[in-house]
Amino acid sequence: MAAAEPETYKCWRSNADPEKMLHVICHGGEAFEELPHRIRSLDLGSDQAKARSRTCVRTIAHYWPSRASCSCGARRRSSRPRRARRLPHSAPGHHIGDVAASLRFIPPCLPSIAKAPPAGADWLHQPKLDGYRLQAVKEGRTVRLYTKGGHDWTERLAALADSLRAIPARSAIIDGELVMVDAAGLPSFLKLHLRRGKRAAGLHLFAFDLLHMNGREVCAEPLVARQGRLATLLARSSVPVLHPVTSFEDGAALLAAAEEHGLEGIVSKRADLPYRSGKARSWLKIRVAATGR
């Protein structure tokens, strides 16, 4: 009887994206270092298959830089046995105990532009704050702060990073917005812009998503589950510069309130979907000006 086809091959033949392949490989227990050789063993007869192969290897290089030099067909496999490695945190639900492996920046989910908020119970809506996208990576007593493009701003935002060390978790990755509020308590992008390049004090991080918690990446969980974890974390937090971003069910009403209070707009998100890096239609940004009012 022929052996069952591995999940890796099934994903490949179903034209799955590279990140899904990595998740299947890690979750299923396949050795990570074997992936490039598995790719080379597949039938890459078509140009489309070869393009997907190159994309997959680039994804491997992102999650595991030490393998960046391994490209399909470019190297022969060494006869010397290698010790299998696994992704430290990329697989959904992959537990790493006391955070032995260093956490890394996760490329953020970027909303697509829409003219009006979607209706229906599948969507949650949050106010769009006027600031800088920021990812806070806490590991033990160390906090690193990254911009949307992955630039390390820890030194520039040293006071904020020092405050976030008190987050009540062994490890966490929080996605949020770096905001400075004005005298009326509203986000002021102009004031934040004037503070660029300085060791800014008085900045606040408004958190709207949780990507990792105590050694477990939670990106594969639906938004409502991640927000539940985030709410529990922030309820136990006494960090004065860390605040939750509230979600609402009525997008049209929230957009009207955003216009009334001088906010930029809202972001509508699918409540039942996982976190995906890059541009996504599951996150929609609706600006107040786009309504024509």
Which domain CATH number covers 139?
Answer: 3.30.470.30
Q: Kindly report, residue by residue over 2-42, the tens digit of the pLDDT.
A: 444 445 445 444 555 555 554 444 444 444 444 444 444 44
Q: Kindly report, residue by residue over 216-245, the tens digit of the pLDDT.
A: 999 999 999 999 999 999 999 999 999 999
* Tokens describing residue 162: 């020092």
On whether residue 184 sits in a domain, the answer given is yes
CB 167 within 8 A of CB 209: no
Q: Which residues, 6 or more positions from 227, have their beta carbon under 8 angstroms from its beta carbon?
A: 124, 208, 209, 210, 247
In this structure, are 115 and 57 located in the same domain? no
In this structure, are 185 and 238 located in the same domain? yes
On whether residue 280 sits in a domain, the answer given is yes
pTM greater than the 0.85 cutoff? no
In this structure, are 248 and 171 located in the same domain? yes
On whether residue 89 sits in a domain, the answer given is no
Question: What sections of the chain are H helices per DSSP?
Answer: 7-13, 18-28, 35-41, 47-63, 158-164, 189-194, 223-235, 251-260
Tell me, what's the pLDDT at 180? Answer: 85
Tell me, what's the pLDDT at 117? Answer: 96
Q: Which residues, 6 or more positions from 193, have their beta carbon under 8 angstroms from its beta carbon?
A: none
Tell me, what's the pLDDT at 58? Answer: 55
On whether residue 150 sits in a domain, the answer given is yes
Tell me, what's the pLDDT at 193? Answer: 63
In this structure, are 120 and 58 located in the same domain? no
On whether residue 37 sits in a domain, the answer given is yes
Tell me, what's the pLDDT at 191? Answer: 64
113 HSE (CA, 13 A, CB side): 6
Q: Which residues, 6 or more positions from 189, have their beta carbon under 8 angstroms from its beta carbon?
A: 130, 131
Lowest-pLDDT range of 51-55, 215-219, 256-260, 289-293: 289-293
Confidence of residue 130 (pLDDT cuts 50, 70, 90): confident
On whether residue 99 sits in a domain, the answer given is no
In this structure, are 160 and 282 located in the same domain? yes
Q: Is the pLDDT of residue 270 over 50?
A: yes
128 an active-site residue? Answer: yes
Q: Which residues, 6 or more positions from 283, have their beta carbon under 8 angstroms from its beta carbon?
A: 109, 110, 111, 112, 267, 268, 269, 270
Q: Is the pLDDT of residue 66 over 60?
A: no
Which of 210 and 39 is assigned the larger pLDDT? 210
In this structure, are 279 and 178 located in the same domain? yes
In this structure, are 15 and 126 located in the same domain? no
The parent domain of residue 183 ranges over 109-291
Torsion-angle region of 262 (φ positive above 0: left; ψ -120 to 50: alpha; else: beta): left
Which of 98 and 290 is assigned the larger pLDDT? 290
Q: How many domains does the chain have?
A: 2
On whether residue 114 sits in a domain, the answer given is yes
- Tell me the C-alpha to C-alpha distance, in Å, between residue 151 and each of 139, 140, 156, 211: 18, 21, 11, 18
Of 67, 92, 118, the residue that ends a domain is 67
Catalytic residue among 10, 20, 115, 128: 128
Q: Kindly report, residue by residue over 133-190, the tens digit of the pLDDT.
A: 999 999 999 999 999 999 999 999 999 999 999 999 999 999 999 998 777 666 666 5
Of 45, 67, 89, the residue that ends a domain is 67
Q: Is the pLDDT of residue 57 over 60?
A: no
In this structure, are 132 and 276 located in the same domain? yes
Q: What would the mean pLDDT of 255-269 be, rounded to a whole number?
A: 93
Lowest-pLDDT range of 17-31, 39-53, 201-215: 17-31
The amino acid sitting at 251 is G
In this structure, are 116 and 56 located in the same domain? no
On whether residue 1 sits in a domain, the answer given is no
Enumerate the β-bridge partners of residue 122.
none
